[in-house]
Amino acid sequence: MSERLAVRKTYKLFIGGAFPRSESGRSYVVNDAKGDFLANASLASRKDARDAVVAARKAFGGWSGRTAYNRGQILYRVAEMLEGRRAQFVDELRAQGLAKGAASAEVDAAVDRWVWYAGWADKLGAVAGSANPVAGPFFNFSTPEPTGVVAVVAPDSPLLGLVSVLAPVIVSGNTCVVVASEPAPLPSITLAEVLATSDLPGGVVNVLTGRRAELTPWLAAHMDVNALDLAGVPDDLVKPLEEAAAGNLKRVLRPGPAAWDADPGTARMSAFLETKTVWHPVGV
């Protein structure tokens, strides 16, 4: 009796809530921890990066305009669905070389971290904002607002690292374009499948797979990208990307030791917030 022919999954991009192939038609081989063929992943191009930014910008008004409570509900729903596909994520992490216990622990940590950030959705305004004392008959309030479209270069921790840089960007109302881990992109697209079937609007998160050195310069120089998170960027690329980002005064979050894997805190959320101060006369 002959063995069944394995049906290999084709991993595509995630742009605007859909899963298109790269417009270039290119792909690259992803190997498992033993060096054996695991899958083909799309090799995103400059055009794909531009399309992802367009989708993120289009989604920004609707996502940032939702109530903080509603965004929190949606992120909690994503965590529920991530938990429901736990076994699949464990299998993918084991294929990347993690032992069974380590893979299980990483998935659990990723779910917990997503829930942690979701809980901040309706609390961030109270912590990052303030009512300011002024000498005059005025109310003076400072309130945090999302920066806009954020380009995120995910670290090579393919699930926990991705969640740790993605969740704090979108919880406050930003939209994003994620460049997935180059050697381990598969959990990123699996997470995109979770996002696509949750209540998250299309375009809030867009995922590109491919060469970081090829994609990041276009995102750093893109005039409609408002901020850049370099968590997964190698040291030799940081300075050129910062120089390109200066073209429209992007906010840049540099990589660093324990930049995402330590206790999360609020730093990654506040890095992509703008503060608006409003004066209002006191009523009679």
- Domains within the chain, CATH numbers bracketed: 10-281 (3.40.605.10)
Amino acid found at 63:
W
- Report d(CA 154, CA 187) in Å as an integer: 12
- Report d(CA 46, CA 29) in Å as an integer: 20
The confidence band for 274, taking pLDDT boundaries of 50, 70 and 90, is very high
pTM: 0.92
The structure tokens 């979770």 sit at 194
| pLDDT (0 to 100) of residue 284 | 54
- Report d(CA 232, CA 255) in Å as an integer: 7
> For the chain, what percent of residues have pLDDT higher than 70?
97
pLDDT digits (tens, 9 = 90+) for 229-269: 999 998 899 999 999 999 999 999 998 755 677 678 888 99
Has residue 128 got a pLDDT over 70?
yes
User: For every residue of the chain, which 3-state class applies, written as one string?
Assistant: CCCCCCCCCEECCEECCECCCCCCCCEEEEECCCCCEEEEEECCCHHHHHHHHHHHHHHHHHHHCCCHHHHHHHHHHHHHHHHHCHHHHHHHHHHCCCCHHHHHHHHHHHHHHHHHHHCCCCCHHHHHCEECCCCCCEEEEEEEEECCEEEEECCCCCCHHHHHHHHHHHCCCCEEEEECCCCCCHHHHHHHHHHHCCCCCCCCEEEECCCHHHHHHHHHHCCCCCEEECCCCCHHHHHHHHHHHHHHCCEEECCCCCCCCCCCCCHHHHCCEEEEEEEEECCC
**CB distance 49 to 217 below 8 Å:** no
Tokens representing residue 271 in the block: 């890095």
pLDDT digits (tens, 9 = 90+) for 77-107: 999 999 999 999 999 999 888 899 999 999 9
| pLDDT (0 to 100) of residue 8 | 73
